[in-house]
Chains A and B, each alone.
Chain A
Amino acid sequence: MASVPISEDSRFGLRRQARLTGPLHLSSGALLGPVDIAYETYGAMNADKSNVILICHALTGDQYVASDHPVTGKPGWWWRLVGEGKPVDPARHFIVCSNVIGSCMGSSGPASIDPATGDPHAMRFPVLTIADMVRAQAALLDYLGVDRLSAVIGGSMGGMQALTWPTLFPDRVESCVVIASTARHSAQNIAFHEVGRQAIMADPHWRGGDYYADGLVPSAGLAVARMAAHITYLSEAGLTEKFGRRLQGRDAKTFGFDADFQVESYLRHQGLSFVERFDANSYLYITRAMDYYDIADDHGGSLAKAFAASKARFCLVSFDTDWLYPTTESRIIVHALNASGAQASFVELSSPFGHDAFLLECPELNRVVDGFLKGGRA
């Protein structure tokens, strides 16, 4: 199949950024524009543009799905699923992954400069929704000359975007893969996020979000937010297996408040390394967007209605130890898809790793996604 020569087109490749004039019409009624979108593309679009796959990232993820992270140097966050010889393969697919708006890896967010004032938006940035993130991705696809997605794929918050896609743009999505995700944020999900936000806002360095000028950022609050959230990504059994009650670099308890236990040390490390790569205000905005997420609520309370106009095929995967977005949440989506007559597949996979399982080694996940993506071409 002939391919569009992409090497000469500056829109395609690694570490790209687009400035879209917009404005983007947000769920809140506000307008956002111009909008910057940082993104990467892998592989080449085929002649009839039928091989485009959009990958959506999770809360603290980014556009570096299959290339080394510029700050941490770590390999792409979904290299197990996306890459040469993987279910999503640049040899066959044209792959797009963009940083969600509201984030801090190059797309417009609270840390980016408001052209009207020359200062960072901070908390003057408009409150966003998952639907707004999807609208921004659609605008990016317009800019890239992509009409239809062969597939949109995401895990966790990425799954929320993937599931929102066919509800907002039913004619632009042929298949949809939603992994370890949900159709709405539960009270428990919102509660955990609120703990994280309060930790950030209670940090004296937060100062109503205007902390960009002097470099004194609310690291302590953001680290605590990350620590609390990180617990929800792991399973109790996984934590017990990894750490148990083992002590950290000592033979006995210190009868103090140092990180005596390995699990404490691990969480502190997770918190500290997170603040080096993430903006606290972005964390507020993105968790808020997730809390507002409820697809049924946007369609008169009926989840089935949300998919009525879509002809997409759906593949849902949950993990048995994921208590953040448990299997029951995926089942709610599956039942709605059955009711709307959609082509749906769903499987609960077994993993010891809790919610994080979608990012970790899971051959069954690759087999399911690979078969599902190829199934459309059988």
Chain B
Amino acid sequence: MSETLRPDLALIARTVRQGARVLDVGCGDGALMAAMRDNAQVDARGLEIDGSNVAAAVGRGLSVVQGDADTDLGYYPDASFDYAILSQTLQTTRRPDLVVEELLRIGRQAFVSFPNFAHWRGRISLLWGGRMPVTRLLPDTWYDTLNIHHVTVDDFRALVKERGWTIDGQWFLKGDKETTHANANLFAEHAVFLLRK
């Protein structure tokens, strides 16, 4: 695989078990699926809302279905995958909590990755500039962003606690490097959680 994976995807690709059955929800053009298939012999299936992304993924030989995470996950049977993956899609769904519930029903474990809205750059932008942050990680303006549910590391942890889910793993990223768990809410640009019910 010559393609360079986004850091959160590379982390997930390194972590999945060899030969696992994986559903990638919001799989984009299938970069993660292809990496998992080629490097870990993963049986990967994808769900993606954008037609040209689906065409690209199917064009590279992947099994990807065009659909919407908010409405189409109900058609997958219980525990039909080892992992369900939601990478950088959580904040774009209408009901992120229900989507994660569905991931944990379909997969025995679920990877959830999202940009941390409480990163200090965003805080400064809002605190001093008084404007919604437009940063390298959150490059869109408030009116054209697909991110309709901005979430922080601590927000997500609170949701996990409230729903009684178990955290099997958590990783924090700054650029393409892993960063410490301490003060992740302030310093992490990206978070990746591995959950189970």
Point out the residue from A343, A349, A370, A371 that lies within 8 Å of B45, measured CB to CB: A343
Cβ contacts A298-332/B at 8 Å (1 or 0 each) = 00000000000000010100000000000000010
Q: Taking A368-B55, A368-B58 as contacts, is the C-beta distance between A341 and B80 under 8 angstroms?
A: yes
Q: B65 is contacted by which of A334, A371, A376 (Cβ under 8 Å)?
A: A334
A349 CB contacts on chain B under 8 angstroms: 51, 55
A372 and B65 form a contact (CB under 8 A): no
Contact between B63 and A345, CB atoms less than 8 A apart: yes
Interface string of B26-69 (1 = CB under 8 A from A): 00000000000100000001000001101101111111111100
The distance from the CB of A363 to the nearest CB of chain B, in whole angstroms, is 10
**Is A335 engaged at the interface, CB distance under 8 Å to the other chain?**
yes
Q: For B60, give its contact among A335, A348, A371, A376 (CB under 8 Å).
A: A371
A345–B62 alpha-carbon span in the complex (Å): 8
Contact with B along A337-378 (1 / 0, CB 8 A): 011010111111110000000000000100110111011101
Interface bracket on A? 20 to 34
Contacts of B75 in A (CB 8 A): 334-335, 338-339
Chain A residue with Cβ nearest B53? A347
Interface flag for B120 (CB, 8 Å): no
**Which chain B residues border A335 with CB–CB below 8 Å?**
72, 75
User: Across the interface, which residues of A come within 8 angstroms of B139, CB to CB?
Assistant: none
Name the contact of A375 in the complex, choosing from B51, B62, B76, B77 (C-beta under 8 A): B62
| Chain A contacts for B80, CB-based, 8 A | 341
How far is it, in angstroms, between the C-alpha of A38 and the C-alpha of B168 when the chains are bound? 61
Q: Known: A338-B76, A339-B77, A341-B77. Contact between A347 and B61, CB under 8 A?
A: no
Which positions 129-167 of chain B face chain A at CB distance < 8 Å? none
A374: nearest chain-B partner, CB-CB: B61
Contacts of A344 in B (CB 8 A): 45, 63, 65
Q: Assuming A335-B75, A367-B55, is B65 touching A346 (CB within 8 A)?
A: yes
The answer to whether A347 touches B54, judged by C-beta atoms less than 8 angstroms apart, is yes
Q: Which residues of B contact A374 (CB under 8 A)?
A: 61
Q: Which chain B residues have a beta carbon within 8 Å of chain A's beta carbons?
A: 37, 45, 51-52, 54-55, 57-67, 72, 75-77, 80
28 contacts between A and B (CB under 8 A): A331-B67, A334-B65, A338-B65, A338-B75, A338-B76, A339-B77, A341-B77, A341-B80, A343-B45, A344-B45, A345-B58, A345-B62, A346-B54, A346-B67, A347-B55, A348-B51, A349-B51, A364-B52, A367-B55, A368-B55, A368-B59, A370-B59, A371-B59, A371-B61, A372-B58, A375-B61, A375-B63, A376-B61
Nearest 3 pairs between A and B by C-beta? A375-B61, A371-B59, A335-B75
